[in-house]
Amino acid sequence: MRGLLARRMKFHLLGAFLVSTTCAALYKFGVAEPRKRAYAEFYRKYDPMKDFEAMKAAGVLESAPLK
């Protein structure tokens, strides 16, 4: 039983490192990168003046009177 803790610790530390690295990579490529692309695509097509005019026409903005 001598050295049992040290041997088991090496195994579990290596396993924990591999699992955490795999989870981080899966999150990055499965969630973060698609989200970045979606935001970039949205802001590439986004027209703030058109959005402002739509909100003004709907009466959402009190500081911009309806015409």
Q: Given a cut of 90, is residue 66 above it in pLDDT?
A: no
Q: Are 56 and 66 in contact (CB under 8 A)?
A: yes
Which of 36, 64, 38 lies closest to 51, judged by CA? 64
pLDDT, position 67: 66
Collect contacts of 50-59 with beta carbons under 8 A, ≥24 apart.
none
Domains and CATH numbers, the chain: 4-58 (4.10.93.10)
Task: Give residue-wise pLDDT tens across range 4-44.
Answer: 999 999 999 999 999 999 999 999 999 999 999 999 999 99
Q: What is the pTM of this model?
A: 0.67
Q: How confident is the model at residue 2 (pLDDT cuts 50, 70, 90)?
A: confident
Q: Are 66 and 59 in contact (CB under 8 A)?
A: yes
Residue 27's H or E segment, with its range, is: helix 4-27
